[in-house]
Amino acid sequence: MARIVAVANQKGGVAKTTTVHALGFALAQMGRRVLLVDLDPQACLTYSVGIDPENLHQSLHDVFVRKMKAADARRIVTSVEGLDILPATIDLAGSEVHLLTRTGREHVLALALGTVADEYDMILIDCPPSLGVLTINGLTAAHEVLIPLQCEALSHRGVGQLLETIDDVRMFANADLEVRGVIATMYDAHTRHGKAVLDDVKARYGLTVLEPPVRKSIRFAEAPAQGRCILQHAPSSPGAEAYRAIARELDADRRPAH
């Protein structure tokens, strides 16, 4: 049974999609079977793995609205063996409205993933930058949450709100949900500011910070335009090495699914 990890932060531009793509790619390179789930109507993860969302005829929207099986909507990511994706399109924005009318709406993704979970070691969910019904679905389906945190001023203000949402999900839908920790993204090792942000998060919320931090680099902006992961585009870069190290840590502490 797959371990399901949601990557969430309601603040946009903190490298959620980059984190999901890089960790998925790294785990697949390690021989794990990985499913990526693009839960964002902007479909950036889908685009980043080399799939044009505008040319897709089947996506996660069909799973939510037309009750298509997840196995029928998923696509193979051809860049590395062992990596699949449940892709998104802009239609997913309509799925959110549809889900609001459904009984048990927060469990729809969990039920869909349950039909394919036995085929994977890890399922990584790229949650949208909001705390709406799609993100609630991601948190309800997950065993754990990773929080990418941009190491810049005020970037951690939303962490408290996200943690409140996670507490609500625990209370009403997924009692066993854990926060695995924070991944420091866009980290500038030449200033003290990034370290100060991380120290504040540790002290204020008691969260684990996974090491090492992911350093800021133009390589991250270049990779998606080529439909490539940072581990392909700049495999020896500090950012790629950081994601490999974090993937190894996640793989080492694999826990039984509940």
Q: What is the pLDDT of residues 17-68, one digit of tens each?
A: 999 999 999 999 999 999 999 999 999 999 999 999 999 999 999 999 988 9
In a domain, 46, yes or no: yes
CATH number, position 103: 3.40.50.300
Number of domains the chain contains: 1
Q: pLDDT tier at 215 (50, 70, 90 boundaries)? A: confident
Provide the β-strand partners of residue 36.
85, 124
Q: What is the pLDDT of residues 180-207, one digit of tens each?
A: 999 999 888 777 877 888 888 888 889 9
Provide the β-strand partners of residue 122.
3, 34
* pLDDT on residue 257: 46
Residue 258 reports pLDDT greater than 50: no
96-112 average pLDDT score: 92
Give the range of the structural domain holding residue 161, as residue numbers without chain letter.
3-252
Q: What is the pLDDT of residues 224-237, one digit of tens each?
A: 777 788 888 888 88
Candidates 197, 109, 107; CA nearest to 154 is 197
Residue 77 reports pLDDT greater than 90: yes
Give the three-state DSSP class for 114. Answer: helix
In a domain, 135, yes or no: yes
Burial 114-142 (b: 16+ CB within 10 A, else e): eebbeebbbbbbbbbbbbebbbbbbbbbb
In a domain, 258, yes or no: no
Task: Quickly tell me which residue has 């924070």 as its tokens.
Answer: 182
In a domain, 257, yes or no: no
Helices 193-205 and 159-172: angle between axes, nearest 10 degrees: 30
For the whole model, what pTM was predicted? Answer: 0.94
* pLDDT on residue 196: 84
Residues 6+ apart with CB under 8 A from 108: 64, 99, 102, 137
